[in-house]
Structure formats: C-alpha cells, structure tokens
Amino acid sequence: MQWYELVFSAISLRSFSVLWFWIALAGFWTVVTRQVMGVPQDLILNARHDPRAAEDMLWLARFHVRRRLAMPSALRVALVALVAFALSGLLALALAGLDSAQALFLMGAPWAAIEGLRLRLAHRLAAEAPDAETLASRLTWHRIAVQAIATAAVFVTLIWGVWRVLSLSI
C-alpha cells in the first residue's frame, strides 16, 4: 500500500463510516451547546442565590449581546445570504448523494437555526435590559432550546448515518 492510499483511506469522503466524523460531530455539538450567550451554566445557576454571580452574569450577558449586535446590518444580511447559499449548495450536493455534503448539511442546518435563535435572544435582551432573575430564566430556556436542537441533530445524523452505511454495504 502506498503512502497516499493510506492517507486517503484515513480521510475518506464517506463521512458516516469514518470514526473521525463521529468524534468531530461530538466535539462540534459540545462546543456549540457549551455556553449560552457567553455565560457559563454554573454562573447562571449561582446567580439565583449569589448577588456577585448575578452581577457577573449580567455583565457577561451585556458584553456578549453588544458584541453579537455590533455587526452592521448590511454585513449581517450578506452573512445570512452567504450561509443560505452554502446550505442550499450543500443540500443540492447532499440530495445528489455525496456523503460529505450530507454530513456537513446535517451539522450546518441546525447550527444555523441555533445562531438565529442566539441573534433573536440578543435583540430581545438588548431591547428589554432584564434584571438578573429574568435574564437567568431567559438564558436557561435558551439553553434548553439549544440542547434540544443539538440532541435532535445528533439523533437525526446518527439515524441517517447508520442508514447510509447499511445501505451502501448491502
């Protein structure tokens, strides 16, 4: 076996049958669901009982809301158009049967939905300027929604990947 055959067998385009894809999928969704608007979950939980933690939570949330909304609206529209173009291209390639496009679409579409939810939450928090209790509640519900989307995405990817591997091996 030549060296390039060994490299290409490790970097196979059949995403669902390669261990690296599943490791990357788990790592990706772990990173995406780790923090809510830049506020760690333990800080949200502690903010309900500790005034210092509540102050830190408010500060972190305000910082990340301002940072997320600092992008000019024209640039945001261009970014949304670029993401929509990329996702529609991936969907077209996925429907054509390309495994790597299917894998990327199954990761990218839910991630785009989560980013949309994060942007909506940022606009809502900027408009309301909630107190610590309301902010903790909003961040907790947002975390639940993000984790539900991530769990559904992993489940659908798992089912689709198993189906693809079994159908290709038959």
pLDDT digits (tens, 9 = 90+) for 72-117: 888 989 999 999 999 999 999 989 988 888 889 999 999 999 999 9
Beta partners for residue 39, in sequence order: 36
Buried b (16+ CB within 10 A) or exposed e, 117-141: ebeebbeebeeeebebeebbebbee
Q: What is the pLDDT of residues 38-82, one digit of tens each?
A: 888 888 889 888 899 899 999 999 999 999 888 888 898 999 999
Q: Give the global pTM.
A: 0.82
Average pLDDT over the chain, rounded to whole?
A: 87
Q: Which residues contact 49 (CB under 8 A, 6 or more apart)?
A: none
Domain ranges of the chain: 50-169
Residue labelled with tokens 């107190």:
131
The model's pLDDT over 142-161, given as tens digits with 9 standing for 90+, comes to: 999 999 999 999 999 999 88
